[in-house]
Chain A
Amino acid sequence: MKQVFKKPHALCDVPLHYCPGCTHGIVHRLVAEVIDELGIEGTTIGVAPVGCSVFAYDYFNCDMVEAAHGRAPAVATGIKRTNQDNIVFTYQGDGDLAAIGTAETVHAAARGENITVIFINNAIYGMTGGQMAPTSLPGQITQTSPYGRNTETQGFPIRVSEMLSTLDGPAYIERVAVDCVKNINQAKKAIKKAFTCQVEKKGFSLVEVVSTCPTNWGLSPEEAMKWLQENMLPYYPLGVYCDKL
């Protein structure tokens, strides 16, 4: 019988710990498929963040390094600089990338560091139990914004893709979502382009994936997808923000 669907080689054959309906799993698979298709597993080094995807080092079959919270772009820089022919990617949440690691993110982008950043924007701190993230929406209820994010005292969400695209360093930035088949297919294309960008030594690439955290949003997986579509997509428009390829 012809096999039409199988686990990508770049994904380890282990159960993932993510909650039901969590989109981390989808994005892992897309990254692994791209690594397979580009044939780069043997030269790829991934950097796992601190966040729900911390165990990514056990999920990807390529060499993996676990970074301190927010420091993945700096760690990736250190790895990349030792061998420019290796492919180095980070996989980071919004707290990791856009709060504690803002400096590392902005400066890796500004340097045009030839790495690929996969950025999971789920508008919340998933791992620590649902606190307000730099990307939480105005009015969004979280553990640390129990009355809804008050922009007067808690400020405004950061649109990372837009912000970074004002820099000269990045080569490719796109925001995608994984809420429906069409968008998942687009997300895969974007991730592939981002890695290709690195393979071709074009410089910094980032794919922001608008994602869900049903557990900490207090919604069912289905409701979470709907909430993403109705609330996140208007605030975080999908599209290409920078493309020098």
Chain B
Amino acid sequence: MAEKVLLKGNEAIAEAAILAGCRYFFGYPITPQTEISAYMAKRMPKIGGVFLQAESEISACNMVYGAAAAGARVMTSSSSPGISLKAEAISYIAGADLPAVVVNIMRAGPGLGGIQPSQSDYHQATKGLGHGDYKMIVLAPASVQEIINLTAEAFDLADFYRMPVMILGDGTLGQMMEPVTFELPEGRKLPEKTWATNGTKMEREHNVVNSLYIQPDILEKIVTERNKKYQQIEETETKYEAYRMEDAEYMITAYGSTARIAKNAVDELREQGIKAGLIRPITLWPFPKEAYKQYVGQVKAILSVEMCLGQMVDDVKLAVESKVPVHFYGRWGGNIPYPNEIIEKMKEIVGGIA
């Protein structure tokens, strides 16, 4: 069995990326993701990789675009305000069909907001943070071990589908220490990067990495083709965890670190005689709609718990097509919901129905 080591969430992202073959990291300092950069700054020079602190998140993410164009496994990480600046390059990465991994360790917004944990960038991440018709795979780990597995998976997904993949965490997850192993899941068989701009060697036609198509018919065709890829991803790549859902009458749903709190609430509610269960989406885009749909008819109500004003709750409502009442409980501004608050809210819901 692989050795267990104690690691912070942020460091786990960095180490898993390196193990997954990422050798290029471009970043800009921001709390609460700092440990990722610090770890990369220490490790990359030792393993022949590149750590570069850019002049801004705009530059960092455009460097990612360049390195990805050259065929490298590359990543950047930031936190909410910095992600807004990366939006430009992410749109270009999507538009040029380049693989890249972007980490957002969310903090509370809007504006400069605060530096405490938050999930208020859900809409930004899942509904397209840059301009244009594009999607980005968004992975939401809930433990340090899952961070490791999903980080490795993120690089494979990016290369396999040639698109940006985001790891969406929050300050709690980034700072949390847990024992982990580095047994990475078996990777996918990946296509060769024949499109990469790494020099023709005078052996092939020149490659062009580009997102500009002046003719509407051509652009429409390209966006349509890309959309087929998105549809395929929606069909095959959704991931979620169901906890005590077999006989559940009430569903709590939450992702990331909030899901851990929600799990405690589920257990406590069960002790108090309320049959609660949890659905934890692991992919936020593609959103695991089936995870919810299958419980229409079984559960009497759904409670979405989030560290924001309520964003994922919209997707949950869409998933069950309003056939089940969907409620919301959240804390925001950098505050974390407590299990007893969730329990109280659920009891209100149960009381209202009973």
Among candidates B66, B198, B199, B200, residue contacting A78 with C-beta atoms closer than 8 Å = B66
The segment from A60-68, A117-125, A129-137 found at the interface with B is A60-68
Bound: A80/B88 CA distance, A: 21
User: A12 to chain B: which residues have CB within 8 Å?
Assistant: 206
Among candidates A43, A61, A77, A107, residue contacting B66 with C-beta atoms closer than 8 Å = A77
A79 touches B66 (CB 8 A): yes
Among candidates A63, A65, A67, residue contacting B200 with C-beta atoms closer than 8 Å = A63
Among candidates A41, A44, A61, A78, residue contacting B69 with C-beta atoms closer than 8 Å = A78
The segment from A81-89, A162-170, A229-237 found at the interface with B is A81-89
B47 within 8 A of A: no
B206 touches A104 (CB 8 A): no
User: A107 to chain B: which residues have CB within 8 Å?
Assistant: 54-55, 59
User: A66 to chain B: which residues have CB within 8 Å?
Assistant: 96, 208-212
A74 within 8 A of B: yes
B31 within 8 A of A: no
Whether A79 touches B67, Cβ cut-off 8 Å, given contacts A58-B208, A60-B206, A65-B209, is: yes
A65 touches B64 (CB 8 A): no
B55 touches A68 (CB 8 A): no
Report B122 CB to chain A, min CB distance, Å: 25
Bound: A57/B59 CA distance, A: 21
B210 touches A62 (CB 8 A): no
B206-250 interface code vs A (CB 8 A; 1 in, 0 out):
111111100000000000000000000000000000000000000
A47 within 8 A of B: yes
A68 touches B63 (CB 8 A): no
A45 touches B197 (CB 8 A): yes
Among candidates A58, A64, A77, A103, residue contacting B63 with C-beta atoms closer than 8 Å = A77
A81 touches B67 (CB 8 A): yes
Chain A residue with Cβ nearest B65: A75
B198 touches A82 (CB 8 A): yes
A78 touches B26 (CB 8 A): yes
B89 touches A71 (CB 8 A): yes
Report A153 CB to chain B, min CB distance, Å: 27
The segment from B1-9, B70-78, B178-186 found at the interface with A is B70-78
Of A54, A81, A83, which is in contact with the most chain B CB atoms at under 10 Å from its CB? A81
A45 touches B211 (CB 8 A): no
Bound: A206/B175 CA distance, A: 43
User: A104 to chain B: which residues have CB within 8 Å?
Assistant: 55, 58-59, 62
B68 within 8 A of A: yes
User: B285 to chain A: which residues have CB within 8 Å?
Assistant: none
Bound: A80/B50 CA distance, A: 11
B84 within 8 A of A: no
Chain B residue with Cβ nearest A104: B59
B264 within 8 A of A: no
Whether A78 touches B67, Cβ cut-off 8 Å, given contacts A41-B202, A62-B206, is: yes
User: B208 to chain A: which residues have CB within 8 Å?
Assistant: 57-58, 63-66
A173 within 8 A of B: no
Bound: A82/B50 CA distance, A: 8
Of A77, A78, A106, which is in contact with the most chain B CB atoms at under 10 Å from its CB? A78
Chain B residue with Cβ nearest A64: B208
B184-199 interface code vs A (CB 8 A; 1 in, 0 out):
0000000000000111
Report A87 CB to chain B, min CB distance, Å: 8
Whether A78 touches B65, Cβ cut-off 8 Å, given contacts A58-B208, A63-B206, A104-B59, is: yes
B199 touches A68 (CB 8 A): no
B211 touches A42 (CB 8 A): no
Among candidates B24, B64, B66, B199, residue contacting A76 with C-beta atoms closer than 8 Å = B66
User: B52 to chain A: which residues have CB within 8 Å?
Assistant: 77, 81
Chain B residue with Cβ nearest A10: B206
B66 touches A75 (CB 8 A): yes
A78 touches B202 (CB 8 A): no
B82-118 interface code vs A (CB 8 A; 1 in, 0 out):
0000001100100010000000000000000000000
Report A95 CB to chain B, min CB distance, Å: 16
User: B298 to chain A: which residues have CB within 8 Å?
Assistant: none
A63 touches B59 (CB 8 A): no
Bound: A65/B67 CA distance, A: 11
User: A57 to chain B: which residues have CB within 8 Å?
Assistant: 208, 210
Chain B residue with Cβ nearest A103: B55
Query: What would 5 A/B residue contacts be, using CB atoms closer than 8 Å?
Result: A43-B201, A45-B197, A64-B208, A65-B210, A79-B66
14 additional contacts (CB under 8 A) given A63-B197, A67-B66, A79-B69: A42-B199, A43-B199, A44-B199, A63-B198, A63-B207, A64-B209, A65-B208, A65-B209, A74-B66, A75-B63, A78-B24, A78-B65, A81-B67, A82-B71
**A-B interface, 10 closest residue pairs, ranked by CB to CB distance from nearest:** A78-B66, A78-B63, A63-B197, A74-B62, A75-B66, A78-B67, A71-B62, A107-B55, A66-B210, A42-B202
